[in-house]
């Protein structure tokens, strides 16, 4: 997630806590959107694995990790996942992983392109990301 606009830059679905799917999502986001200055994550095992950390180090990306048990440190992504659960996941009974992936793909497209966000003064993440609308200025 690009915090400024709340845009989801890349995502992957996995039923494991392995680092590979996170590394793949990270590489995809960097290929599509460029190299970030800072990467903020929680201290989950997939983010503290050498495979994930090494990608950040190889690109001179500053590493920011939330304090253990401090959900507030990463409130934007925590709110995002709450929204996904209540607006998509809890409303469906997915038959299989590919069914979940298909529905989540559609939902994330909706989230980025169509769903207005109150924190963005009714704009979508895509509108803010691509137009460089300052959320702080429109929220004031």
Helix (H, G, I), strand (E, B) or coil at 8: coil
pLDDT 10s digits, 39-50: 988 888 888 899
- Check residue 128 and give its pLDDT: 93
Q: Which residue has the tokens 């659960």?
A: 85
Q: Which residue has the tokens 């990467």?
A: 39
- Check residue 135 and give its pLDDT: 53
The 3-class SS string of 79-138 reads HHHHHHHHHCHHHCCCCCHHHHHHHHHHHHHHHHHCCCCHHHCCCCHHHHHHHCCCHHHH
How far apart, in whole angstroms, are the C-alpha atoms of residue 89 and residue 84?
6
Q: What is the mean pLDDT of residues 36-40?
A: 90
Q: Does residue 140 register a pLDDT over 50? A: no
Q: Does residue 70 register a pLDDT over 70? A: no
pTM (2 decimals)? 0.80
- Check residue 18 and give its pLDDT: 86
How far apart, in whole angstroms, are the C-alpha atoms of residue 125 and residue 78?
16
């Amino acid at each position: 997630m690009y915090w400024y606009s709340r845009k989801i830059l890349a995502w992957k679905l996995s039923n494991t806590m392995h680092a590979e799917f996170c590394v793949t999502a990270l590489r995809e986001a960097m290929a599509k959107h460029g190299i970030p200055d800072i990467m903020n994550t929680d201290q989950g095992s997939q983010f503290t694995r050498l495979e994930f950390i090494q990608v950040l180090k190889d690109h001179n990306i500053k590493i920011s990790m939330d304090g253990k048990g401090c959900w507030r440190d990463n409130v934007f992504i925590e709110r995002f996942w709450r929204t996904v659960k209540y607006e998509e996941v809890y409303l469906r009974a997915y038959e299989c992983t590919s069914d979940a992936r298909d529905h989540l793909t559609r939902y994330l497209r909706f989230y980025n392109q169509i769903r207005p966000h109150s924190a963005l003064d009714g704009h979508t993440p895509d509108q803010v990301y691509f137009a460089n609308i300052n959320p702080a200025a429109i929220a004031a």
